[in-house]
Amino acid sequence: MTLEHARKYSALALDLARQAAALGEVPVGAIVVQHGLVIGEGHNQPRARNDPTAHAEIMAIRAACAALGTDRLTGCEMWVTLEPCAMCAGAISHARIARLHYAASDPKGGAVEHGPRLFQQPTTLHKPEVYAGVGEEDAAALLRAFFSERR
């Protein structure tokens, strides 16, 4: 994968995060890519849907699985603007996503390199390759701005 592709996918996820912010949701966006094509996308929608599971990653996984007609996203990549929580990391594992790229770290709620470090647990079913930091500055700035407006 080229740096150009990484920036493109990171920018698409960030656009989705901005959509979430515009709706008053925590600004997190995610896409699922297969063979260079976006097959699923989502942004945080827990408040709008009255659904605590409507995180960006879950929405993108649901859309990608519907597009492919399967519950397995083998060979796919996910791009997300924030380190996934335990629920989303579990869904990524169960969907068999091959590679996870996330922009900003989440020391409080993340479960990939913080907290439970789900993919490092011996009982984790599937462990994707993990890449952190592409688009981190922009994603972190969007999150900071969102929360500073609410405090």
Q: How far apart are CA 28 and CA 10, in angstroms?
A: 12
Judge whether 149 counts as a catalytic residue: no
Considering 25, 41, 57, 83, which one is annotated as catalytic?
57
Q: Is 20 in a helix, a strand, or coil?
A: helix
* pLDDT tens track, the chain, 151 positions: 687 888 999 999 999 999 999 999 999 999 999 999 999 999 999 999 999 999 999 999 999 999 999 999 999 999 999 999 999 999 999 999 999 999 999 999 999 999 999 999 999 999 999 999 999 999 999 999 999 988 7
Q: How far apart are CA 21 and CA 27, in angstroms?
A: 5
Q: What is the value of pTM for the model shown?
A: 0.96
Tell me how far CA of residue 58 lies from CA of 39, 83, 144, 148, in angstroms: 13, 13, 23, 26
Structure tokens at 3: 């740096």
